Amino acid sequence: MSHESGGELGVIEILKASRLFCQLDDTSMAQLVDNLRPLRVAAGELLFREGEPADSLIIVLSGRLRVSRRDRDGGLLLYNELCPGECIGEAGMILRQKRTNDVIALRDSTVAALTRSGYEALLNASPLVFSEVFSQAIYHYLRHIPQLSEHRRAQSFAIVPLQPGNEATLLARGLAKALSHERVRHLSPLATIADGEGDSEIARRLGPIDQLEINADYLIYEAEASLTAWTRFAVRQADQVIFVAPADSAPAAGALELRIREDAGFSFKRHHIVVVHGATASQPTAPGPWRADREVERVYLTRRGSEEDYASLARFLTGRAVGVVLGGGGARGFAHLGVLRALREARIPIDLVGGNSMGALIGAQFACGESLEAIQANTVAFATGGERPAVPLISILSGRRIERDLRKMFGDISIDTLWRPFFAAACNLSRACTTVQESGPLWRAVLASNSPAGLLPPVLHEGDLLVDGAILDNVPVEAMRTRLGTRLEKRRGNGTVIAIDVDVREALQVSAEMRRLSPWRKIKGHLSSDAAPTPGIGDILYRASHMGGLTQRGRTISMADHYLEPPVAEFALMAYRRANEIVEAGYRYACTEIEKWDRQTLPR
């Protein structure tokens, strides 16, 4: 950490943009500035360490800091980032407590320190003014109120090619175009920069980084395929590092990546890897080898020049990705197709799909790129194919026909080799939890999610028994929320979750005078419309298998940004022949609901 004089006028402008100091008059502001010590910190440098005495507060003047802690097991917990104008350490300094977290420079930054002696000097000079200011600081700290009245600082991305070529250039241009509805600046490599004059020469050519961040919403630094002065600078200034490599290259980390990982502060940034395929590639390579020995948030499978892929990548990077969750509900699940049609017509993108039961069957086909019309035809044919009864020792039905048709429908496709990410939920009877299936054979994941306990045999997976996920979670919103969040941050995920629930809460009762359920009464009910309704084994098994989803519906709704419940109660669970009507009901309902949404919260 080194001292730096800094520009007083710039410091005052930054302080006036903060909630804490914006009310100071010119005299008080000058007193504050006189007691601050500007300091220059390099990316990765530790400013505060948890447990140390809190003898000062820090105000960010340029760059960005990150706040973190370690859990009991030593795991990294990332909390938030501090932008210019924000401060940290005020509560500890004022109350004479120890530091409650670590603070590290995410980028090369300039900060201003106010020591305990400087704080006391301010109180002596203007006791009423600064007592009120720092009382507000404690109040904001306790209430978690944002310190800035307006955030106008750019998010910064460094795109680092792992192989020589033009992949980084194409990706940077594609990402810039995808973000062009806002202010974006694509910064190409600066040539002829000697290592000894790297930072000074870059600063001379680019101008103040702080000014770049004020004048843009996004900065895209295009790095080089070697550790040049520009590449080091780009990585240090970035909030997120995006490694990019062609799909036909070796997935193991090379010298450049390993050297970048060693830099102080790299672990506090978000890291990703983009694997680029040919423009006409039909199926991507498996991402598993690219994850090996890497701590990346996500592996993105893209096609060269695909605007759709670039746009989806941009939404994930900026926390605006859209995940759609499709719940189970038999034939009522055809309403999902109507909702998907309405979303498409409203030009709401879908970046990730998850589902359970019928929702998993429809969602898997959608993730494979099938048209909505083909999905409907395929699903009707599949659902009406019948199934042979089994000796009822494990299940009522054998499930062999269902497995055969799912194998035929999805072939040897692996879930993690889909252009659009997908997951299927299942209830793990062995471990008493929901298992989210996002790798392995697609047909097996859909089969497990469509195997109601007792009706069809459980699907075996690594020794565990998997059945329809509705026992615990029929609309797996929590799994989607987790997958839209970042890998390390322990908080509610980013992005938008749209959940579609077609599980109707139907009455399952009999006459109060009835003393015992009788098979003959059930048969009579089928033969005569005048007979009192009697629930059969199918009704009982269905309700029992959906109890978890029904009882936690309130929690599920609270975790979704948009929760849709198409009006499908009039359709029976097995009304597959009425698919057209159910699709239309879902479409009309969704069109009406989407009109009510605040479109400003959805990606453009």
Amino acid found at 281? A
User: What is the CB-side half-sphere exposure of residue 316 using CA atoms within 13 A?
Assistant: 30
The DSSP-derived string for 279-310 is: TT-SSPPPSHHHHTT---SEEEEEETT-HHHH
**Catalytic site residue from 108, 405, 468, 473:** 468
User: What whole-number distance in Å separates Cα of residue 582 and Cα of residue 373?
Assistant: 13
User: What whole-number distance in Å separates Cα of residue 273 and Cα of residue 243?
Assistant: 5
Q: Is 357 annotated as catalytic?
A: yes
Q: What are the residues whose beta carbons fall under 8 Å from the beta carbon of 133, sequence distance 6 or more?
A: 20, 21, 23, 24
- CA distances in angstroms from 86 to 80, 336, 511, listed in the order given: 11, 45, 66
Contact in structure between 471 and 432 (CB atoms under 8 Å): no
> Which burial class, exposed, middle or buried, applies to 497 when counting CB atoms under 10 A from its CB (0-12, 13-18, 19+)?
buried
> Which burial class, exposed, middle or buried, applies to 127 when counting CB atoms under 10 A from its CB (0-12, 13-18, 19+)?
exposed
Q: Is 468 annotated as catalytic?
A: yes
Contact in structure between 178 and 310 (CB atoms under 8 Å): yes
Contact in structure between 112 and 55 (CB atoms under 8 Å): no
What are 66's strand-pairing partners? 81, 104
Residue of 323, 467, 478, 443 lying closest to 394 (CA atoms):
467
Residue of 568, 510, 359 lying closest to 446 (CA atoms):
359
**Catalytic site residue from 357, 395, 451, 545:** 357
Query: Annotated active-site positions, please?
Result: 357, 468
